[in-house]
Structure 1
Amino acid sequence: MSLADLQATNYDPRDPDPWLALALDQSLPIDPEAKAALLRGSASWSRRWMFNAIRPFVFAFFLVVKLLRALSPHHPNLNGLLHKTIHWGLRSFGSPDANLLIMRHFHVGTELLAFIKANAGEVSVNTVPLRPRTLKDLEDNVFLQHDLNVFNFIIQLNQSLRAQGRDLTPVERPDFSMISDAPFDIEPTKKGWLNFADVQTAVEVYTPLYALLLPRADFIRASNSLQLDEPVAIYIGKILGTDYHLSFIKNGHPLVALSTMQAGFRLMMHGLDCEALHGWLRLLKRRQAQGLPLDPRNPTAEAARA
């Protein structure tokens, strides 16, 4: 399914196609490729049927894992096996759209943090850029490192700002150089006869596996990291001097932690939040390059300096 495919269908006001409505909707500035992949996944039989069929079993497995982790919070610690299993599962059963969305997420997260760092002034922040090109690259501790990156970034950024007695402030001409305005360098995956799992089904299945193979503290940290979208968006708002993009964020502030049992759904929302934030920055980058006001809602504002 693509936007062109949907537009080619006959539109009947008495029976409007819900996928056409979502494809045409422009409420979120999401990359067209990512949006098309999400729509295809949502419309797939995997999401509509298999997802609902497996959820009770995944929930029961999750409860067993939580009980086991209550008895043994530190062991087993099989991070290497976890990443190899995720790679194997996505290669064997993940649809090309699911694999693309998962790999895109690490590129998007890397660029969002880089944008904040570049526009924060003199701060000491060290994280590991994550740019997986192939599914095999995911074995290199990518999922765990992603969680570590976000927490370490927030800790180190705020340590630096507090030591200087200041906070993030609006930047006259933000640096968007790290925001990609072209497709990420991601190798497309093959569509075999078993590659049917949409991204939400894949996420739902591997979430309890994540809890089983990592120490309890690592899983709880990973789960809580899903609610860091709002602090990251607030940092971006302080730099841009606008809070419009906060309307994109729906994962909730981490000061009120949500249950780890909701981690699968919140991981999907985390991906959507990040795609919307990245798409917004990409839009602003283009407007800055064209000499337009950064805020597209205010055409009378002073144009960005060339």
Structure 2
Amino acid sequence: MLHTREYYDNMVHEPRNPSHWHALFLDKSVPFNADAKAAFLYDSSTRSRQFLYPVAKVLARLAIILMQLFKIVVPNLINAPKTLHKCLYIGMKYFITPEANFLILRHFYLGSEILRFIKDNVDGAEHIPMNPLKPLEVADVQDNIFLEHDLNLYNFIINLNKAVADKKVRIEKKDNPDFSAIGSGEIPFAAFRDKWTNVIDLATAIELFTPAYQFYLTDNDFWRATNSLQLDEVIGIYASTIMDCPEKLTALNNKHPMIPLPTYGAAFRLLLHGFSTEVLHAMLVQAKKAV
């Protein structure tokens, strides 16, 4: 069963034993879709997150370091993105929680809408090519969706700034932003598998998936993918400039995109990347509803 807002809406508050997760769900200081927030908090409260994650984190990061040494010698020996995404699909379908799958698929969907919003609100960017990723079931990840997501981000930033330079236009405040790209309704995902094996939480799954990502890609592809996780600030600045609300960037905190970080920390940065996307999209949804 996918735990959404009703789970926390119906939770009984015990003043002598308050729930950390209940308090965070009720707090509205950071914009966040209610169903996604409930799924994120419930997934974070599981026994997998509490007990399996610390062990997986250590072992996965050790594997990344050892693999990095191996890739120094043979950086391009393995390049099998299709096999990688087949493995990711199997892991997602059979082993991670419905909440984690819900959040992963939402991430691709929301990311595509945010990029389209920026394009729609920059004069002169009308002809930038787009490759929207809007998966509706776990099986859709087999279409190299993780790799395509990274490429979309880089290509968008490059194409957008080339268009800005060539056409002598600016990314600037829009008095009446075009919100047509931003969906505010429920995304019609197919039902997520929820059997006894679907117990691995999102953070643990990301830690375990990262070494697999590194193994099946060339060293350059993995390096590029991990560096893309620091571009949240860039996308956030574009959107907040259009909306004229730079103060809302406080939750988009991957920071310093020009300073590459060690690859062994990529899993945690990926978690922040997903969080930042949810916050930025929720901010745009709020603005759309206020029009």
Q: TM-score range by the shorter chain?
A: over 0.9
SS of the residue aligned with 1:206? helix
State the Cα distance separating 1:167 from its structure 2 match: 1.8
**Structure 1 stretches of 5 or more lacking a match?**
289-306
Q: Within 2, Cα distance between the matches of 1:188 and 1:46?
A: 22
**Structure 2 stretches of 5 or more lacking a match?**
none
Q: Within 1, Cα distance between the matches of 2:154 and 2:187?
A: 24
User: Does structure 1 retain, via aligned residues, the 8 Å contact 2:4–2:34?
Assistant: no
| Aligned residue in 2 for 1:287 | 290
Q: Is the alpha carbon distance of 1:6 and 1:150 closer, same or farther for their aligned partners in structure 2, counting shifts above 3 Å?
A: closer
User: Does structure 2 retain, via aligned residues, the 8 Å contact 1:100–1:188?
Assistant: no
Of stretches 261-270 and 69-78 in structure 1, the one that deviates more from structure 2 is: 69-78
Q: Within 2, Cα distance between the matches of 1:36 and 1:137?
A: 24
Counterpart mapping for 1:235-274 below 5 A: 235-274=238-277
User: Does structure 2 retain, via aligned residues, the 8 Å contact 1:3–1:20?
Assistant: no
Q: Within 1, Cα distance between the matches of 2:261 and 2:268?
A: 11
SS of the residue aligned with 2:231? helix
Q: Is the alpha carbon distance of 1:206 and 1:137 closer, same or farther for their aligned partners in structure 2, counting shifts above 3 Å?
A: same
State the Cα distance separating 1:10 from its structure 2 match: 4.6
AA partner of residue 15 (structure 1): N
Q: Within 1, Cα distance between the matches of 2:53 and 2:282?
A: 28
TM-score by length of 2: 0.95
1:187-217 per-position Cα deviation (integer Å, ceiling 9, x unaligned)? 1212011010111111110011101100111
Q: Is the alpha carbon distance of 1:282 and 1:62 closer, same or farther for their aligned partners in structure 2, counting shifts above 3 Å?
A: same
Q: Is the alpha carbon distance of 1:9 and 1:86 closer, same or farther for their aligned partners in structure 2, counting shifts above 3 Å?
A: closer
Select the residue among 78, 91, 112 that pairs with 2:93. 91
1:111-152 per-position Cα deviation (integer Å, ceiling 9, x unaligned)? 000000000112232131101111111000100000000000
Q: CA RMSD in A?
A: 1.4
Of stretches 74-83 and 8-17 in structure 1, the one that deviates more from structure 2 is: 8-17
Q: Is the alpha carbon distance of 1:2 and 1:76 closer, same or farther for their aligned partners in structure 2, counting shifts above 3 Å?
A: closer
AA partner of residue 232 (structure 1): I
Larger Rg: 1
Q: Is the alpha carbon distance of 1:113 and 1:5 closer, same or farther for their aligned partners in structure 2, counting shifts above 3 Å?
A: closer
User: Does structure 2 retain, via aligned residues, the 8 Å contact 1:3–1:24?
Assistant: no
| Aligned residue in 1 for 2:160 | 157
TM-score by length of 1: 0.90
Q: Within 1, Cα distance between the matches of 2:81 and 2:7?
A: 42
What percentage of residue pairs aligned between the two structures are identical?
36
| Aligned residue in 1 for 2:169 | 166
AA partner of residue 30 (structure 2): L
| Aligned residue in 1 for 2:192 | 189
1:143 lines up with 2:154 in the alignment: no
Q: Within 2, Cα distance between the matches of 1:165 and 1:5?
A: 51
Q: Within 2, Cα distance between the matches of 1:198 and 1:86?
A: 14
| Aligned residue in 1 for 2:38 | 36
Q: Within 1, Cα distance between the matches of 2:9 and 2:285?
A: 25
1:127 lines up with 2:135 in the alignment: no
State the Cα distance separating 1:80 from its structure 2 match: 0.5
State the Cα distance separating 1:282 from its structure 2 match: 0.4
User: Does structure 2 retain, via aligned residues, the 8 Å contact 1:147–1:225?
Assistant: yes
How many residues end up aligned between the 2 structures?
288
Q: Within 1, Cα distance between the matches of 2:244 and 2:204?
A: 38
Q: Within 2, Cα distance between the matches of 1:204 and 1:264?
A: 5
